[in-house]
Structure 1
Amino acid sequence: MIRNATPADLEAIAALHTAARATYYRGHIPEEDFSGPAELARTREGWAAAIARDDGSVLCAEHEGTVAGAAAFRTRDGIMTLTQLHVAPSHWSRGLGTALHTACVETWQRTGTRQARLEVYEHNVRAQTFYVRHGWHPDPETPRVGAHLVLLLDLPPVSPVRQ
């Protein structure tokens, strides 16, 4: 089930984000930079701010009553930006990431969004493959920001419903 996140989801979201991030950062940056107490506090603060934002949304994917994935998006510099999409590693390859992604895209299309943007860590090949499979492509104008690749998704307009 996909639903809007609430402050009550904060600890579960921060925990799954930390677990997912550890899989692609390990071996590339120091462990304390992605899983130490200071970083976990920063992660909680970031998700709390995202949940509280009026200009964005955070969605949760639940599996058997447990928050197993989360996605956050907002308009940044005039373009819809997928700022986070994480699924707990124990729930990978079960369709939760695709369900979250689909919910984001449907929300964007309902608001008339024609293009979305994201940044993905250069060593996170699993996520890159996921995004390409869902239609994302490199931004020809800004292909990189630091250690992140910039991807775009072109969204077709929603066809009006015939009645």
Structure 2
Amino acid sequence: MTGIRVREMVYDDCDRVAGIRVGGWRTAYRGLVPQSYLDALDIEEDAARRRARFSAHDSTVVNLIAEHDGKPVGWSCHGPYREGDTRTADAELYAIYVDPAHWGKGAGQALLRESLHRCTAAGYPRMLLWVLKDNTPARRFYERAGFRPDGAQEPFEVHGVQVPEVRYARKLTTV
């Protein structure tokens, strides 16, 4: 796909981001998390959470939108790495989702590239992220971008089911 443009998210994007996020969960996590959880995801509730978070104006969190032909098709969010309630010197990719109809067309790569660029420019030494252990396509996506598992694992519970996550890391260096 050509014509991908990455820009900062604005408040009016919250509804579309919620749709992208819920659609991404329902598609990418099918078979990995309980179907009852995926079925219960509600775009309106997610949009309300997006609007509340966006309105909180946390200047350390960066929300990006990937557009194709002026329409948002992807969203990513990054900021300081969270170790419990403490923020560390590293960056964290909190989320990246692309409308499933646009998978494999460059929007995810464009969002990740821009997040890496911004975190490098901000002086973060590394970017970390968490991914479901059994989410093989996502793990391949991050590995192609130079991320590697660093050995950290974390339990993640969804509707009473343990869904383990693994942490990936990539050093950030200026060129």
Is TM (by shorter chain) over 0.5?
yes
Q: Is 1:93 aligned to residue 96 of structure 2?
A: no
SS where residue 105 of structure 2 aligns? coil
**CA spacing shift, 1:9–1:88, aligned 2, 3 Å:** same
Deviation at 1:122, TM superposition (A): 1.9
Per-residue Cα deviation, 1:27-73 (whole angstroms, up to 9, x for no partner): 23333423425x54553354331573221100000011110000001
Deviation at 1:112, TM superposition (A): 1.0
Unmatched runs of 5 consecutive residues or more in structure 2: 156-163
TM-score (norm 1): 0.87
Query: Quick check: 1:55–1:74 contact (8 Å CA) kept in 2?
Result: yes
Query: Quick check: 2:15–2:44 contact (8 Å CA) kept in 1?
Result: no
Query: Quick check: 2:32–2:135 contact (8 Å CA) kept in 1?
Result: no
Query: Quick check: 1:50–1:57 contact (8 Å CA) kept in 2?
Result: no
Cα separation, 1, equivalents of 2:49 and 2:96: 13
Higher RCO structure (Cα 8 Å, ≥6 apart): 2
Q: Is 1:139 aligned to residue 150 of structure 2?
A: yes
Q: Is 1:21 aligned to residue 32 of structure 2?
A: no
Aligned residue among 47, 61, 66 for 2:66: 61
* Backbone CA RMSD of aligned residues: 1.8
Per-residue Cα deviation, 1:14-37 (whole angstroms, up to 9, x for no partner): 101111111222223333423425
Cα separation, 2, equivalents of 1:46 and 1:124: 25
Q: Is 1:7 aligned to residue 15 of structure 2?
A: no
Aligned residue among 96, 108, 127 for 1:116: 127
Equivalent residue, structure 2, for 1:148: 165
TM-score (norm 2): 0.81
Cα separation, 2, equivalents of 1:130 and 1:93: 10
Residue-pair matches, total = 155
Would you tell me which structure has more strand in proportion to its own residues? 2
**CA spacing shift, 1:35–1:46, aligned 2, 3 Å:** farther
Runs of 4+ aligned structure 1 residues displaced above 6 Å come to none
Query: Quick check: 1:50–1:56 contact (8 Å CA) kept in 2?
Result: no
